[in-house]
Amino acid sequence: MANATEQKTVLLTGASDGLGKAAAILLAERGYRVFGTGRSADKLAQVEELARQRNLPLETLEMDVCDDDSVRRGVEAVRSRAGDIDVLINNAGFAFSIAFEDLRLDDWRKQFETNVFGLIRVTQAVVPRMRERRQGRLIMISSVAGFLTVPLQGAYSASKHAVEAISNALRHELYPFGVQTILIEPGYIVSGIQQVGASLAERYTDKVQRGPYAKLYASTWESANRTRAQSKTTPEDCARVIWEAVESPQPKARYPVTSLAKFAKWGKRILSDRAADRWIRRRYGITRDS
Return the active site residues.
Answer: 156
Contact 116, 165 (CB under 8 A): no
Type of residue numbered 194:
Q
Q: Give long-range contacts, CB 8 A cutoff, 24+ apart: 29-33.
A: 29/54, 29/56, 30/2, 30/243, 30/247, 31/2, 31/3, 31/4, 31/7, 31/57, 32/2, 32/7, 32/8, 32/57, 32/87, 32/246, 33/7, 33/8, 33/9, 33/57, 33/82
3-state secondary structure of 282: helix
User: In this structure, what is the dihedral angle of CA atoms 261, 150, 269, 278, given to the nearest 10 degrees?
Assistant: 120
Strands (E), 74-204: 87-90, 136-141, 179-186
Q: How far apart are CA 282 and CA 88, in angstroms?
A: 39
User: In this structure, what is the dihedral angle of CA atoms 208, 209, 210, 213, given to the nearest 10 degrees?
Assistant: 40
